[in-house]
Structure 1
Amino acid sequence: MTKLLVVDDSALMRRLLSDIFGATGEFDVATARGGAEALQLLTEFEPDVITLDIHMHDMDGLTCLDRIMVLRPCPVVMVSSLTSEGAEETLEAMSLGAVDFVEKPRGALSLEIDAIADDLVDRVRAAAKAHVSRASRLRERVRALQTGRRANAPREDAGTSVSSGFRPSATIMADPMQETGVVLVGCSTGGPPALDALLADLPGDFPWPVVIAQHMPGSFTGPLARRLDRIGPLAVQEVTRTTRLVPGNAYIGKGDADLIVSRRTGNLVALPAPSSAAHFWHPSVDRLVESAIRVVAPERLIGVLMTGMGTDGASAMARLHKLGGQTIAEAESTAVIWGMPGALVARNGASCVCPLDAIAEELAKRVSGD
């Protein structure tokens, strides 16, 4: 029986969530009316997983989450609104150590809760199995604090428009006679802090563009791109229209849609596409990789599959590997959920398996041919 702690200052929300999880027969549910009571139940109830509302009266969810990760780290699923403000707060929660998030019903709770019940149970069930260690949570908290300092610092190139798809870099040394390659990154649950770690370790003159499919709602990917753009050396943007792929840049697919690599007038581009019914998760990693294979020689592609539940990306990256491309799977030791990278390894489709903090160095070696 999985011990679940539901933290929400709404009595109706606590009752509805208790009913949903209790009906599965899988969860022993306790509830807390706010952050202070939740912190007390950490040691009294010892939950395996927590659902945590962001907005509470006695203690906001971010403060409570920060204390949980210090006192007794365990998987936390945030209950968030899918607004621009809610996206920023949720991304901050992910940086502080939350595993996942679910949409908070926007209408009458008793009517809307059924619409998210199945997704909520699936996400909490997966989160309960997530890899959450005290060491990794402390690293993420330190990184989150550093992120805040970097985000508030002025950028030397603040006058350059990211939407143009290019930030000048005098040190990019791509061979003009040889077309650039492309790095294709896929991730899901636990992905935002993993992307933070990966992109922060890549230099601003990284010679291949990085194209990212992160499973997320459409209202979250823009704030995610802006956050990553502020904190790392690479220029990062959300792909909302046909955009030329340029070294030194990273491109994030818009949520609730798919991301495609194609050619326009001889140039490699990324463009959004309506979500495909043939793929369950969006932006689809499988569809991204499949599109790239059609227009770029496999040996000029590197696939990186990181934390996430399910198998999205494993099939297409295994095919890329078979065709002569290179693929990197995040190691189980650092992945919050080893579903996606584990599925690639199970298909014998990974050129190498690396812990998160070694992926950037591995990419640098493979791009340079060392």
Structure 2
Amino acid sequence: MRKIRVLVVDDSMFMRRMISDLLSQDAAIEVVGTARNGQEGLEKARALKPDVITLDVEMPVMDGVTMLQKLMQEQPTPVLMLSSLTTEGAEITLKCLELGAVDFITKPSGSISLDIYKISSQIIEKVKAAAQARVAATSVPTQATAVVSPARAVIARRGGDAPLVVIGASTGGPRALSVVMSSLPADLEAKILLIQHMPEGFTRSLAERLDRNSPFIVREAQGDEVLEPGVAFLAQGGKHLKVERGSRLVLTQDPPVHGVRPAVDVALLSIAQNYPGKVVVAILTGMGSDGAAGVRALYAKGAYTIAEDESTCVVFGMPRAAIQTGCVKRVVPLDQVAQAITEGVKELCSSSRAA
């Protein structure tokens, strides 16, 4: 079997050595080169044509963000960012995901993490996932710019009986969510929940970025909120999100499901059990099968179900698993997901009025 060829780019000699040693422990991975900065990283990427690149952000000569931009224009390659847990680090990481990085790894203790070995299994798993990813020769995704009114919070909406839209995503999700949320119409009569696989410390920044480009108010869920039309709540990183009776949001530290927290299935199954209203579900790009069980349960209760088409997925795992349940009504490319959601909401509203 052909090994996954990896290029490690980091300005710290210690980190280059540690990451290389950790990856080399896996028989399926071969570290074919290392680089000290973004300029050297680009040169070695051109020469070595690796399957995956691990990329630090802060480096001399050329930083990781600049290298990523140039790489995605010249030679699209799956990139795994190394991120710090700071607020600034989260912002830069999310920018890199928008620019085309597949995923990121959080350094346990700063730019030079002496305890990087603690996350060795995570690094290996994410490198293997990145090797399967589809990356496109684009810098920033083409998307509609939301025209957001300063008074959007008081736009007349349907009220408590507005359908609930739930969007779940994993690898490639932040970029996909940005495309979908910026494309939804401002007058859509819906409440929204967003579940993105992401560790603690990153979802607040993601919510703020989505909020700036969406006609909906986007907030990181804190727990005890009540679903409301015109507002999208993003599941908090590192915690499961459930919907209890009365449309109340609850955060829990229950064990990970499918190896992740928040898990899409946890949210969807709680909705199937506790939410009496109409539901639209969209499963976007992501590794694994999270969301499939929830799609099956909600479809049985009349939900309008959507999955992203393989042609636009970074990783066609979660959508494939949902489709394989036989409970997905629409399969559409990413640029048509917002339209499919809108049509689903209108169809459910029409059926409610007819009833």
With normalisation by structure 1, the TM-score equals 0.88
Counterpart of 1:295 in structure 2 is 274
Counterpart of 1:86 in structure 2 is 89
Report whether the alignment pairs 1:192 with 2:171. Answer: no
Structure 2 residue runs of 5 or longer lacking an equivalent are 351-355
CA distance in 1, matches of 2:74, 2:110: 35
What SS does the aligned partner of 1:24 have?
A: coil
CA contact (8 A) 2:162 2:190 kept: yes
Q: RMSD of aligned C-alpha atoms?
A: 2.1
Report whether the alignment pairs 1:304 with 2:282. Answer: yes
Find the partner of 1:224 among 197, 206, 209. Answer: 206
Q: CA deviation at 1:274?
A: 2.2
Find the partner of 1:257 among 220, 235, 239. Answer: 239
1:330 maps to amino acid? E
Q: 1:178-221 deviations in whole A, cap 9, x for unaligned?
A: 72221111111111010000000002221111101111112101
1:123 maps to amino acid? K
Q: 1:327-370 deviations in whole A, cap 9, x for unaligned?
A: 11111111111111111112212111111110110111111117
Find the partner of 1:246 among 206, 228, 251. Answer: 228
Moved more, 74-83 or 345-354: 345-354
Find the partner of 2:133 among 117, 130, 135. Answer: 130
Counterpart of 2:248 in structure 1 is 269
With normalisation by structure 2, the TM-score equals 0.91
What SS does the aligned partner of 2:162 have?
A: coil
Q: CA deviation at 1:125?
A: 0.6
What SS does the aligned partner of 1:55 have?
A: coil
Counterpart of 2:80 in structure 1 is 77
CA distance in 1, matches of 2:28, 2:155: 54
2:298 maps to amino acid? L
Q: CA deviation at 1:28?
A: 2.6
CA contact (8 A) 1:205 1:247 kept: no
CA distance in 2, matches of 1:222, 1:108: 21
CA contact (8 A) 2:99 2:140 kept: no
Q: CA deviation at 1:325?
A: 1.6
CA distance in 2, matches of 1:368, 1:46: 47
CA distance in 1, matches of 2:210, 2:125: 28
Counterpart of 1:328 in structure 2 is 306
Q: CA deviation at 1:247?
A: 1.3
Report whether the alignment pairs 1:284 with 2:286. Answer: no
Q: CA deviation at 1:248?
A: 1.5
In the superposition, relative to structure 1, how do residues 80 and 139 fare at CA in structure 2: closer, same or farther (>3 Å)? closer
CA distance in 1, matches of 2:182, 2:213: 7
CA contact (8 A) 2:282 2:341 kept: no
> What pairs up with 1:334-345 in 2 under 5 angstroms?
334-345=312-323
CA distance in 2, matches of 1:64, 1:107: 21
In the superposition, relative to structure 1, how do residues 125 and 317 fare at CA in structure 2: closer, same or farther (>3 Å)? same
Q: 1:142-181 deviations in whole A, cap 9, x for unaligned?
A: 55xx97xx8xx9x752xx7xxxxx81114x3x2x6x7222
CA distance in 1, matches of 2:218, 2:338: 16
CA distance in 2, matches of 1:95, 1:107: 23
Q: CA deviation at 1:297?
A: 3.5
Report whether the alignment pairs 1:169 with 2:169. Answer: no
What SS does the aligned partner of 2:85 have?
A: coil
CA contact (8 A) 1:187 1:307 kept: yes
2:199 maps to amino acid? P
- How many positions carry a matched residue from both structures? 345
What SS does the aligned partner of 1:56 have?
A: coil
Percentage of identical aligned residues: 39
CA contact (8 A) 2:84 2:110 kept: no
Q: 1:116-144 deviations in whole A, cap 9, x for unaligned?
A: 1000110111011101122xx3452x55x
CA contact (8 A) 1:256 1:275 kept: no
CA distance in 1, matches of 2:332, 2:268: 20
What SS does the aligned partner of 1:256 have?
A: coil
Q: CA deviation at 1:262?
A: 2.0
Report whether the alignment pairs 1:179 with 2:147. Answer: no
Find the partner of 2:12 among 7, 10, 13. Answer: 10
CA distance in 1, matches of 2:110, 2:313: 35
Report whether the alignment pairs 1:367 with 2:353. Answer: no
CA distance in 2, matches of 1:34, 1:121: 22
> What pairs up with 1:8-157 in 2 under 5 angstroms?
8-29=10-31, 30-106=33-109, 111-134=114-137, 137-138=138-139, 140=141, 156-157=149-150
In the superposition, relative to structure 1, how do residues 108 and 253 fare at CA in structure 2: closer, same or farther (>3 Å)? closer
Q: CA deviation at 1:284?
A: 1.3
In the superposition, relative to structure 1, how do residues 107 and 49 fare at CA in structure 2: closer, same or farther (>3 Å)? closer
Structure 1 residue runs of 5 or longer lacking an equivalent are 161-165
1:345 maps to amino acid? I
2:344 maps to amino acid? R
CA distance in 1, matches of 2:336, 2:169: 16
What SS does the aligned partner of 2:233 have?
A: strand
CA contact (8 A) 1:302 1:327 kept: yes
